[in-house]
């Protein structure tokens, strides 16, 4: 894999319940809404252990595999455009994201934008 090893950990406060955050991360239709401009292939229903899907951002495709999921966390193994993993942890009013991998993409920037989009999505859903 070409690129640099990168890691990023971000934690934000969100004005949303634990259940709202969980649904936004695990329900595929909701995930598609706030993860724009990424597009997703074969993504519907609710994410569960072992599920796989592909997202693309322009010409870069990223394979995802659900490695772990429970009521408070999600771990995705990533390959192709990013070789690594993305972990999510959440609770009432907070969300934490940990991303590590080798990629030519600027992972910290992408992670920051994703968290901002999710926060905006949750604000709009609450209104």
- Predicted confidence (pLDDT) per residue in 47-106, tens digit: 999 999 898 888 889 999 999 999 999 999 999 999 999 999 999 999 999 999 999 989
Average predicted confidence (pLDDT) for the chain: 91
Beta bridge partner(s), residue 103: 4
Beta strands in the chain (DSSP E): 4-13, 39-41, 52-57, 60-69, 73-80, 83-91, 94-103
CA distance 114 to 111: 5
What is 18-126's CATH number? Answer: 3.30.530
Of the pLDDT bands very low, low, confident and very high (cuts 50, 70, 90), residue 27 is: very high
**According to the model, what pLDDT value does residue 45 have?**
82
**According to the model, what pLDDT value does residue 10 have?**
96
Q: Is 28 helix (H, G, I), strand (E, B) or coil?
A: helix
**According to the model, what pLDDT value does residue 65 have?**
95
Q: What is the pTM of this model?
A: 0.91
CA distance 49 to 30: 18
CA distance 99 to 85: 6
């Amino acid at each position: 894999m070409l690129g640099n090893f990168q890691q990023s950990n971000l934690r934000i406060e969100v004005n949303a319940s634990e259940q709202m955050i969980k649904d936004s991360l695990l329900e595929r239709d909701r995930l598609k809404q706030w993860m724009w401009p990424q597009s997703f292939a074969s993504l519907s229903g609710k994410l569960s252990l072992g599920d796989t899907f592909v997202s693309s951002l322009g010409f870069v495709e990223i394979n995802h595999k659900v490695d772990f999921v429970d009521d408070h966390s999600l771990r995705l193994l990533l390959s192709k455009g990013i070789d690594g993993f993305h972990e999510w942890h959440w609770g009432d009013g907070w969300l934490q994201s940990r991303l590590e991998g080798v990629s030519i993409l600027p992972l910290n920037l992408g992670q920051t934008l994703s968290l901002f989009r999710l926060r905006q999505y949750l604000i709009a859903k609450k209104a």
